[in-house]
Chains A and B, each alone.
Chain A
Amino acid sequence: DAKTTQPTSMDCAEGRAANLPCNHSTISGNEYVYWYRQIHSQGPQYIIHGLKNNETNEMASLIITEDRKSSTLILPHATLRDTAVYYCIVRVMDSSYKLIFGSGTRLLVRP
């Protein structure tokens, strides 16, 4: 699986958009970009995934650059409950395969 690079930490104001970047310059053609988050003392939670098109669901939007070497997770209206560690993971689309977690980005949403 391709390696990802994320900033160690970020912060944003409550109600504003949180934009979390991820670099995955060695991504292969059959690898998807996944995002999970881990709120303190809880298990990780799936957020969204995509291949090359931008994706949106009830939690977030995922913007993938045309060359697929980077992506951005967008939380459109961050709340205090979005404070968590966000993990960007690149993996092949196999419905059942291990996740390789990096160190993630610690997002702090300020009141």
Chain B
Amino acid sequence: GAGVSQSPSNKVTEKGKDVELRCDPISGHTALYWYRQSLGQGLEFLIYFQGNSAPDKSGLPSDRFSAERTGGSVSTLTIQRTQQEDSAVYLCASSLRYEQYFGPGTRLTVT
């Protein structure tokens, strides 16, 4: 079946602009996660959605970052007033039980 999909696959933006990254989880998966991976760095948790519960936003690096999940399915990660240090691969994952399925990621480059 279809896996987790993310769009766009690549995004180049100018410093100060806002960007939106989209994640389509596997159908039926109740949990959705966002992570990011900076060049040469490990994966960093950002935010987690579970059903109708309040999201766990403990990993968001600043208030410029926000995310929403509409209808318990598609999620959008928004970064306002992008900075060069926001350049990274943003990964989305979804899960139903014990294993998380990751999408291919969106590579964000802030110039």
Contact = CB atoms under 8 A, between A and B. Distances in A.
Interface in A39-67: 42-46, 49
Nearest to A97: B48
Contacts of A44: 43, 91, 93, 100, 102
Contacts of B100: 44, 46, 99
Identify whether the interface residues of B are mostly helix, strand, loop, or mixed. strand
Given A95-B31, A95-B95, A95-B96, A42 B104 contact: yes
A102 B33 contact: no
Given A96-B95, A98-B56, A43 B45 contact: no
A49 B99 CA distance: 9
Interface string B43-58: 1110010100000100
A13 interface: no
A43 B103 contact: yes
Interface in A74-111: 93, 95-104
Interface residues of B, number: 26
A32 to B, nearest CB: 8
A25 B97 CA distance: 26
Contacts of A43: 4, 91, 93, 102-105
Interface of A: 32, 38, 42-46, 49, 93, 95-104
Interface of B: 4, 30-31, 33, 35, 42-45, 48, 50, 56, 59, 91, 93, 95-105
Given A98-B45, A101-B42, 9 more contacts: A43-B4, A49-B98, A93-B98, A95-B31, A95-B98, A96-B48, A96-B95, A99-B33, A101-B43
* CB-CB nearest 5 A-B residue pairs: A43-B102, A96-B31, A46-B99, A101-B43, A98-B45
